[in-house]
A and B are shown apart, each in its own frame.
Chain A
Amino acid sequence: MNGFLQEFVAIDLPALAAALLALIACGTLGNWLVLRKESMTGDAIAHAVLPGLVAGFLVTGTRSVAAMFAGASIAGVAAIMLAGWVRKRMRLEPGASLGVVFTAFFALGVALLESQGARQIDLDPECVLFGSLETLFLVSVRDKPWYTTLPHELWTLFAAAVLAIGFSVLFMKELALLAFDRNHARQTGAAPRMLESLLLAVTSACVVASFEAVGTILVVALLACPALIASPHARSVRGQIAISLVAGSALTVAGYALAAFAPTMFGAPSALNAAGMIAVLLAIAVPASHMLRAMLRGA
């Protein structure tokens, strides 16, 4: 049993912590996107940063966080600016202009990914989709405190989670007002003019920070699903965020456990992909939560 525990701490705990931190970062911000009826924006950002990530790899030739972050940030900002320009010039509705620009960016990213250069530095399309939760290990080195041996992804994700929570708490009432009645926020001047741009920037940063560890699919699911699970039950914005984080955490742990332990229990040779399994559970929970609400109302 002691061996199991050691294995759990070394292999499962870092991966689980990474998934939970990504949930806190993306799940918290996802509430603002859902309340603003902009859940597509999260999807769009997650796709748009891909060419930046790949370009970061290609330019530096390494999988360094700094290069990845810089590339993704540039791509994110460029895509958002381009979407704004397209909307104005072509008079498209916001959703359509986002759709056009972000699809193009994602396609560019995939093309770069399949290029010779990316192959050489061992950048795997699968890693982009599903992340690298399985590669996060806790290496214990004698005479070194535990926190110096943590995978760097955990620190990045921790910073993202703090940023998402801090930003949401600090601007709670202004973000809520902008989501509920944007004209009122503008007319009274109660919300700073830059706040919506700031929300987009913070969301982009958290998406990029979560990307390497959990992959595109789970990032997209984390932005939309926890908030959508919470919305039928919430009576306040604060409550909505709390429900989304509690339900999201439970599903993340359940999804990880299902992927890691269930297959071997049933005699399968290897574990399933954890990020994929968590995303599947989150997606299933959205309609389930709405059905639960309907049942509670009927009772």
Chain B
Amino acid sequence: MTAGASAAAPLELRGFSAGYSQSEIKVVDASFTLGRGTLTALVGPNGAGKSTLLKGILGLTPVHDAGAVRFFGQSLDAARERVAYLPQRSEIDWNFPASALDVVAMGLYRRLGLFRRVNRAARDEARAALALVGLEAQAAQPIGELSGGQRQRVLLARALVQRADLLLLDEPFANVDELTERTIARVLEDLRANGTTILAVHHDIGTVRANFASAILFNVRVLAHGPAESTLTDAAIVRAYTASNAANLSAGGAA
């Protein structure tokens, strides 16, 4: 449509705000642009509003400024099929009666459409995604019997089958075993190399630089955005983590 690279950026925020009610705004005036084929960590202290930012971008919070977000230059509704989201593992009911394969196949429901059962082609596709995260042997296993790391990889496989161009991941590396961490890092790097844009909430400052090329330092507001090396300086981190109370107070929300 319009000229310039930013018009077609996979994700562009201009003064975006989001929260759970008008008096509980957790994200204030966030602006940033993610380029195609970038892998960015969203870093900040607990209660900084990182998860709220991801959910708000996807229209999943009660209050969110949908007009301030563009996906590939379009609204969310127009670009829905190009966007995938991985929720925090703790938000899922793992006692739900479903196998690993069932959960991965859920990523195909939109493409399958209403009134259509999960057919053989869909199951094959889900199985291939499970193989990519090293879980082909667990396909038929109830999700309740999987370890934490395996559950995380199931959710990643579900995001993979959506074949999205933009991935928003909430804490993909939280409390996972080493095999899972290596698997996820490899999968994300492969996706990025193939042009997928990835934004992942990451809580562990120490491992950001190992897994992400760029980073957004966030605490209610975007404090810095750039290459992980230069963005996550000690001074900037201290500022982000000690600014938490002041920033939250000025935003009118609780930490």
Residues of A within 8 A of B (CB): 35, 37, 91, 170-174, 176-177, 179-181, 183-184, 186-192, 231, 234-237, 239-240
Contacts and interface: CB of A to CB of B under 8 A. Distances in A.
- Shortest Cβ-Cβ A-B pairs, 4 listed: A190-B109, A234-B97, A190-B110, A188-B110
Contacts of B37: none
Interface string B131-168: 00000000000100000000000000010001000000
Interface stretch (B86-94, B179-187, B224-232, B245-253): B86-94
Interface in B46-96: 55, 58-60, 77, 80, 83-85, 87, 91-93, 95-96
A171 B109 CA distance: 11
Interface string B1-36: 000000000000000000001000000000000000
Contacts of B107: 188
A254 B102 CA distance: 35
A38 to B, nearest CB: 12
B60 A188 contact: no
B102 A188 contact: no
Given A180-B103, A181-B92, A235-B142, A189 B110 contact: yes
B118 interface: yes
Contacts of A236: 97-99, 102
12 contacts: A171-B114, A176-B98, A180-B98, A180-B103, A184-B106, A187-B83, A188-B84, A191-B109, A231-B97, A235-B97, A235-B142, A239-B97
B146 to A, nearest CB: 13
Given A186-B59, A235-B142, A240-B97, 4 more contacts: A176-B98, A183-B60, A188-B110, A189-B110
Contacts of A173: 106, 109, 112, 117-118
B1 to A, nearest CB: 23
Contact of B21 (A37, A91, A176, A191): A91
Secondary structure dominating the interface of A: helix
A191 B99 CA distance: 20
A239 B142 CA distance: 12
Q: Which of A186, A188, A189, A234 neighbours the largest number of chain B CB atoms within 10 Å of its CB?
A: A188
Interface of B: 21, 55, 58-60, 77, 80, 83-85, 87, 91-93, 95-99, 102-103, 106-107, 109-110, 112, 114-115, 117-118, 142, 158, 162
Nearest to A183: B60
Nearest to A173: B109
A183 B85 contact: yes
B110 A180 contact: no
Given A170-B115, A174-B109, A235-B142, A180 B92 contact: yes
Given A236-B97, A237-B98, A187 B117 contact: no
B93 A180 contact: yes
Contact of A179 (B55, B85, B96, B114): B96
B156 to A, nearest CB: 13
Contacts of B98: 176, 180, 236-237
A187 B118 contact: no
A232 to B, nearest CB: 9
A186 B162 contact: no
B114 A174 contact: yes
A183 to B, nearest CB: 5
Given A170-B115, A186-B60, A236-B102, A180 B96 contact: yes
B24 to A, nearest CB: 10
A170 B102 CA distance: 18
B60 A187 contact: yes
A190 B84 CA distance: 12
A85 to B, nearest CB: 15
Given A235-B97, A236-B97, A177 B58 contact: no
A188 B111 CA distance: 10
